[in-house]
Amino acid sequence: MKKLKHEAELLKKALTIGEKYAVNRGYNAFSATNSAKDKVESLYRLLVNDKLIQPLAVDSEDQPNMKHKLALWIAKQLPEGHALLK
- Structural domains present in the chain: 7-24+33-80 (1.20.120.1930)
Q: How many residues does the chain have?
A: 86
Longest dimension (CA), the chain: 35
pTM of the entire structure? 0.90
Instruction: Calculate the alpha carbon distances from 38 to 30, 31, 35, 56, 66 in Å.
Output: 9, 11, 5, 17, 11
CB-based contact 17:74 (threshold 8 Å): yes
DSSP summary character for residue 50: T
Q: What is the mean pLDDT of each run of 10 residues along the chain (86 residues)?
A: 84 94 92 92 96 95 95 90 82
Q: H or E element: which one contains 43?
A: helix 36-49
